[in-house]
Amino acid sequence: MSFESLGLNEPLLRAIRSEGYTTPTDIQRQAIPPVLEGRDMLGCAQTGTGKTAAFALPVLHRLLENKPTGPAPEQADDNTQKYAKRGRNGRPPRHHGPRKPIRALVLTPTRELAAQVLESFETYGRHTGLNATVVFGGVKQGPQTAALRRGVDVLVATPGRLLDLHNQGELDISRVEVFVLDEADRMLDMGFAPDIKRITAEIPSKRQTLFFSATMPKEIQKLADALLHHPVKVTIAAQNSAADTVKQGIYFVERPNKIALLQDLLSDPTMHKTLVFSRTKRGADRIAKRLNASGIPADSIHGDKSQAARTRALDRFKSGKTWVLVGSDVASRGLDVDDISHVINFDLPGDGETYVHRIGRTGRAGATGDAISFCDGEERALLRDIERTIGKNIDVLEHALATGQATKRSRASHPLAATAPTRGDNAGGGNGNSGGNGGGNRPKRNRNSGGHNGNGDGNGNGNGGGSGKPKTKAAARRRRAKRNRSRFAGQPGAGAGTGASAN
Ligand code: AMP
């Protein structure tokens, strides 16, 4: 099936082509036709399935095909009348300046997801003449209100800032035609239920509603029932779907050894874009600090950081300036970074679903990915939960720093390196790793042309290796550590010029 056959209009097809999408994903195949018809939708799907395009494309199509249909402010329906009467200080809210109506409203639980959804609307809508903007908290509201005053067709928002701006009379949602609730389960987890209620009371009751949630517990079903009108139901992949596409392994390692194990694993050049999860925010900061001290460029990202710091960390990671992003779970939701090579659970999450979400940050849209978890003595019960959720045992990996206490379990000898290209691979190249022990600085990682062209020549004669003098103390420390580790043949950092092979 092609995107053309789904009936999307040409400006959208052009954008899809330039994104390089050739076939719609499952959720796109199932969701796009009924949404184009104007049906409400209940989608049980998680990030990574192509969910954003599944709603953004038909929403843009409909906005483009239909003239604004919402009621003029003076003819607003019950909801908007109520709103007009209430206003701020009992007065009708003041809306600044003439502007076209907001026609589509997308609510997301986190700022990161909101920014990514906006990016998708901008990407897919770039030939449509429609525009979009985003509002979320944690940043100055001036630029957001300026964008709103200029007028937007599509508004992506987190609930709190949306209501703030609404209460200030800075935005008018009384003519919304399509309402999208993304990651509804996460919204409820984060305590947004009252905000969602307030917001839905302000938009027209006659509208199209698209409701997405990764899970469907009772309270989500109740919310869906309240918001949707005869919805089409689309369920994509079981909750453990990521477990099928992502290669998983676990190290049994005592807590004090976790950081050294992490540092060692990260010396493997195939780990060119690795997301590390820690249980606590302070833990994330600590891990990033330790990695930086050992010469591995890393940032942390979590809810205690300012929005500017979070955006900066994400940008640096996306552009390859840092190779490692250490985050908490809130940051993991909806984090859409292309080609994350590895996810490492430094600490196991509290439940199986979160585990699946975390590992789903790699292996996106059908790509393969690797997920490695560390499990200390106190985390065994968590591991059992996780394995129950995904319906299988995770392969136990061996390492000198790991205790390897799972004697009856299957064992894998190397951390999942088989599928990953190394920095020594070039387009036609062989398995050249950067040669030899402890090269001073690692070659720069490169996303282009396969993304992993390091300085190796494909024959194992990379220039990262050998006798180069380390430039910094940290590099010297790493070099020493690497030398010590080289006794673990086949482990990353063992040198010998063969490296991990790319299949
Ligand atoms: P999402 O589930 O919306 O977060 O999308 C996950 C990733 O899949 C994003 O990076 C999209 O750019 C990508 N994607 C979405 N649809 C397709 C498609 N039909 N073909 C290839 N990649 C896609």
88-130 tens-digit pLDDT: 444 444 555 446 899 999 999 988 889 999 999 999 999 999 9
Residue at 29 is within a domain: yes
Which residues are near ligand 1 (CB < 6 Å)? 21, 24-25, 28, 47-53, 336, 338, 364-365
- Report percent pLDDT > 90 for the chain: 47
- How confident is the model over 420-433, as a mean pLDDT? 34
Q: What is the pTM of this model?
A: 0.56
Atom of ligand 1 nearest to the CA of 45: 2
For residue 51, report the distance from its CA to the centre of ligand 1, in Å. 7
Assigned domain for 498 exists: no
Share of the chain above pLDDT 70, in %: 69
What end-to-end distance do the CA atoms of the chain give, in Å? Answer: 29
Q: Looking at the structure, tell me whether residues 34 and 127 fall in a common domain.
A: yes
Which tokens belong to 309? 């710091």
The pLDDT value given to residue 94: 52
Q: Which of residues 332 and 225 earns the better pLDDT score?
A: 225
What is the pLDDT of the chain when averaged over all its residues? 76
Q: Does the pLDDT at position 349 exceed 60?
A: yes
Those residues whose C-beta lies under 8 Å from the C-beta of residue 365, and which sit 6 or more positions away, are: 25, 48, 49, 50
Residue 24 placed within a domain: yes
CA of 335 to the centre of ligand 1 (A): 12
* 104-107/41-44 β-pairing: unpaired
Domain stops at, among 400, 420, 440: 420
Does the structure show a pLDDT above 80 at 393? Answer: yes
The CATH number of residue 401's host domain is 3.40.50.300
Q: 108 in a domain, yes or no?
A: yes
Q: Mutation test of ligand 1: which of 8, 12, 17, 19 has the most ligand atoms closer than 8 Å to its C-beta?
A: 19
Q: What is the pLDDT of residue 488?
A: 23
Q: Please state the domain count of the chain.
A: 3
Residue-number span of the structural domain to which 85 is assigned: 4-236
Give DSSP secondary structure letters for 292-356. Answer: HHTT--EEEE-TTS-HHHHHHHHHHHHHTS-SEEEE-HHHHTT---TT--EEEESS--SSHHHHH
Residue whose token pair is 């050049």: 269
Residues 250, 231 within the same domain? no
In-domain check, residue 56:
yes
Query: Is 241 a member of any domain?
Result: no
Q: What pLDDT score does 465 carry?
A: 33
Residues 199 and 122 in one domain: yes
Same structural domain, 182 and 302: no
Dump pLDDT digits (tens) for 438-459.
333 333 333 333 333 333 322 3
